[in-house]
Chain A
Amino acid sequence: MPDKPIEGLRRVFMTGNEVVAWAALAAEADIMYGYPITPQNEVMHYWTRLAPKYGRSFLQTEDEISAGFTTCGGVLAGKRAFTATAGPGNTLMQESITMAEMMRIPIVQVVQQRGGPSTATVIYSQQEVTMTCYGGNGEGLRIVYSTSSHQELFDYTIKAFNVAWQHRFPTCVLGDGYQAKMRESLFIYDPAEKDIEMIKTYPFVGAEGKPGIEREPSHLRNTYNTEEELNDVVNDLIKAYDAVASQVVESQSFSTDDADIVIIAHGVVTRAAQAAVQILREKNIRAGHFRPVTLRPFPAGELKKIARTAKCFVVAESAQGQLRKLVTDAIYGEKVPILDYYKPGKGITAEELVDYISKI
């Protein structure tokens, strides 16, 4: 059996789903649990071809409810486990994500957003933002990375495993159908090549020794008898999450220092926004761009600073205001007006952003 899936650094031309499979392999993921749904299928297709060569496992479950809960089981057994899904599958998976956030189970979920509501299209959207950040009954105590390129899919899939296991919150790599299905060139690498050390995993159940005699049994529950008891547990969780938030929050700013108009966009739309800023600057329009990389926790502090200097925000997203809600909440109290550029389930180009902003 070959030692490492990737030696050193390799330049490749791949689809995003293939990239995710390679990243999980490179990140020493032990097992994937999954259920077919477009546009995520090829994550499984590549994983099932590659995994046995490196002693890794796969289970095709009966649905995404099961995929999420088996992933929880795999993690509880001490393995670096992950799953991937999209759209209605993400909906079904929210039940297990809430269990993971309440019981601090470090599962990794990759989501390739498709058009909604419900089944709609298998192509592309940014309509799973609210659900991926806050789905299920609970407080949304999870970490969500919104990637914008194949390179980022690779980088952040590796990172997601370490962030999940370091902080013990479920962690999601939020891609989309464009990233999943298109080919792009990128570098794939052995994490050691970049001095990334994969965090050692450990079992939450099934450790050695006779429980009750040689060690305490591990009794993991999510059932509480009183309001006070639950409130204490949730308060502790939120405290832990808030402490983690400042360590993991990520954003990027492009020419925002002197910008009058700042485009706020995430995921692949950041690429249109970055290009638009360049074109607008050439036309002597002082445009800038702010990109939250983590949607949860949201980089509110950074955005607030920009809100104090910009004259106008434009929220551009392939959804009807899901990012906008996060933005509004983050900058509450600031006076900057916000314009919306919504195209639910449809891609956004640099040219149309330039057009729109030129007319403001």
Chain B
Amino acid sequence: MSVLPKMPASWRLETKPHKFCPGCGHGLILKALGEAIDELNIQDRVVFGCDIGCSLLSWDFFNVDTIQTHHGRTTPVVTGVKRARPDRICIAYMGDGGGYAIGSQHLVNAASRNEKITLILANNCNYGMTGGQMAPTTLPGMKTETTPYGRDVEETGYPAQGPEMVAAITRENAYVARGTVANVRQLKGYIKKALLNQMERKGFSFVEALSGCPTNWSTNAKETWEFIEKTMPKYFSIGEIKTPESKEAK
């Protein structure tokens, strides 16, 4: 006898099991998002946008209206929807390449314009879909297909600090946090707050989620988990970075 795992009500069962690699973090982030949508009871009001890269595999993931866009362009598409339909709850979902490299101008400007949208970004230290190249978030010394001898910080800099940057350029009503798939309950809490911040029309909200990519990291389950839980937080501090109540934390 098999027992079906408990899935969020807003997930689309017909498209499960999902298309992500075994051990990928996207499923966990989208589980946190699905539960947040359920608990806020907003399934009928959400417009979900996903990027190019692995995040595009979520184009039929939910029973919510979804637009899959181009690399980095989810932010402007979702901004366009929100500007035209302020009553919708608009979510832009992307990876670190889409948010911090090819679409960074959109992230910076959506944040500084205080767009009333929620951006959720999966940080897995590399470009997954294209086969594991260096991303803005690749750790110093980390080997990728384009840094085969390890990321040399003298040549290519240090890992991008996305939430910290967003916190620095937004005003007091923004919500900015960094969660991790190693703590889905906490991540869900951040995502819920980010959605509520949009629903209350306070301001831009942004959640980065530390995530895993065993396929391109070439790690087994134990190593993957250690990397997410122990190594990544050395460079990416987990927690709320800016909340409308507390202004800038830390």
A contacts, CB < 8 Å to B: 30-31, 33, 57, 59, 61-63, 65-66, 69-79, 81, 95-96, 99, 203, 205-214, 217-223
- Tell me how far the C-beta of B63 lies from the nearest C-beta in chain A, rounded to whole angstroms: 3
**In the bound complex, do residue B84 and residue A69 qualify as a contact, i.e. CB atoms below 8 Å apart?**
no
Partner-contacting stretch, out of B66-74, B160-168, B231-239:
B66-74
Chain A contacts of B82 at CB under 8 A? 73
Q: Does B65 contact A (CB under 8 A)?
A: yes
A79/B64 contact (C-beta < 8 A), A61-B109, A63-B105, A73-B77 known: no
- Tell me how far the C-beta of A158 lies from the nearest C-beta in chain B, rounded to whole angstroms: 20
**In the bound complex, do residue B76 and residue A206 qualify as a contact, i.e. CB atoms below 8 Å apart?**
no
B35-88 contacts to A (CB < 8 Å): 43-45, 47, 52, 56, 59-60, 62-70, 73, 75-85, 88
**In the bound complex, do residue B106 and residue A206 qualify as a contact, i.e. CB atoms below 8 Å apart?**
no
Task: List 28 interface pairs A-B (beta carbons < 8 Å), by A numbering.
Answer: A31-B83, A57-B84, A61-B79, A61-B109, A62-B109, A63-B105, A66-B73, A69-B80, A72-B69, A72-B80, A73-B77, A73-B79, A79-B85, A96-B73, A99-B69, A203-B85, A205-B66, A206-B45, A206-B88, A211-B43, A212-B64, A217-B64, A217-B65, A219-B60, A220-B66, A220-B68, A221-B68, A222-B70
User: How many chain B residues have a CB neighbour from A under 8 Å?
Assistant: 36
Q: Does B202 contact A (CB under 8 A)?
A: no
**In the bound complex, do residue B70 and residue A99 qualify as a contact, i.e. CB atoms below 8 Å apart?**
yes
Q: Does B12 contact A (CB under 8 A)?
A: yes
Chain B contacts of A78 at CB under 8 A? 84-85
**In the bound complex, do residue B59 and residue A211 qualify as a contact, i.e. CB atoms below 8 Å apart?**
no
A73/B65 contact (C-beta < 8 A), A205-B47, A206-B88, A211-B43 known: no
Chain A contacts of B45 at CB under 8 A? 206
Chain B contacts of A208 at CB under 8 A? 44
Chain B contacts of A218 at CB under 8 A? 65-66
A206/B65 contact (C-beta < 8 A), A70-B83, A73-B81 known: yes
Give Cα A70–Cα B78 distance, bound, in whole angstroms.
7
A66/B67 contact (C-beta < 8 A), A76-B77, A95-B73, A219-B59 known: no
**In the bound complex, do residue A77 and residue B88 qualify as a contact, i.e. CB atoms below 8 Å apart?**
yes
